[in-house]
Amino acid sequence: MQITNSSITSSTTASKPSPKATASSAVTTPTSNCPTSNHTIYTSLYTSDLNVSAVTSEDLLSLTFTKYCSLSSPLDAPGYATTTLTAAYVYTFNDCIELCAAYNFWANNTVCGYATYQAQAARPGNCWVGWTNLTSAELDVEDSQLLLPITGTDVALLTT
């Protein structure tokens, strides 16, 4: 509104609409930190959310995983009970492990015991997490043939 000589007149100005938001053109490709992380321990970021004074060794075990590079999925281990809880499309091996750790953190137990990651897999999933009775101690045996070598498939098991 403009006030001119004691009279009120209305004025409007046509404006151009603002540009619409556009999606980022950056493309992110899923990656793995294997083989450099092979046989290393990964502790979930969820440990930072634990009440430090009340943390038990059992709490940490449900959030600590051993990484294995280029192995078949625990689903392929003969004689072991393994169930997939869910799958997701993630961008790193660590993100896949965090999906499993999230189950354990929010359920306050060790429901999720493995994470299998294939960086080159297509949507809708390149990360599968679930329960298994296969342990990292069994897999660490020198002559273990429980999981066979498969390039491009990385596995993390709850550390035992």
pLDDT in tens, 1-49: 444 444 444 444 555 655 565 555 666 899 999 999 999 999 999 887 7
**What are the angstrom distances between the C-alpha of 76 and each of 17, 41, 48, 147?**
57, 23, 33, 7
* pLDDT attached to residue 2: 45
- Distance, in Å, from the CA atom of 134 to the CA atom of 121, rounded to the nearest integer, reads 24
Confidence of residue 138 (pLDDT cuts 50, 70, 90): confident
Tokens (6 digits) for 5: 């000589």
Q: pTM of the entire structure?
A: 0.76
* pLDDT attached to residue 24: 56
Mean pLDDT, rounded, for 138-160: 82
What is the tens place of the pLDDT at every residue in 68-111?
Answer: 999 988 888 888 888 999 999 999 999 999 999 999 888 888 78
**Which comes out higher in pLDDT, residue 149 or 120?**
120
